[in-house]
C-alpha cells in the first residue's frame, strides 16, 4: 500500500479559489479554510482578501 502526504488543500469555502498549506489552514468542523472570514461563513460578507479571489460567502 502506498501512502500519500497531502501538503496543500483547497479552502473549504465553496466560493473560494485559495489553496493553502495544511499546516497553516484554519480548521473548523474538520474542514480547512484559508482565513477566518471563510471559516466563519463570511458573516460580515467580507472576502478572504487574497489576490485573485473574490469570495464573499
Instruction: State the pLDDT at residue 57.
Output: 67
7 pLDDT tier (thresholds 50, 70, 90)? very high
Q: Where are the domains of the chain?
A: 1-57
Please name the residue that has the C-alpha cell 479559489. Answer: 17
CB 13 within 8 Å of CB 33: yes
Please name the residue that has the C-alpha cell 465553496. Answer: 14
Tens digit of each residue's pLDDT (9 = 90 or more) over 14-38: 999 999 999 999 999 999 999 999 9
Instruction: State the pLDDT at residue 2.
Output: 83
For residue 39, pLDDT over 90 is answered with yes
CATH topology of domain 1-57: Ribosomal Protein L24e; Chain: T; (2.30.170)
For residue 52, pLDDT over 70 is answered with yes
Amino acid at each position: 500500500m502506498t501512502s500519500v502526504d497531502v501538503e496543500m488543500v483547497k479552502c473549504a469555502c465553496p466560493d473560494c479559489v485559495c489553496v493553502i498549506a495544511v499546516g497553516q489552514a484554519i480548521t473548523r468542523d474538520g474542514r480547512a479554510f484559508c482565513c477566518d472570514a471563510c471559516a466563519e461563513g463570511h458573516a460580515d460578507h467580507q472576502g478572504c482578501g487574497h489576490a485573485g479571489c473574490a469570495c464573499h460567502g
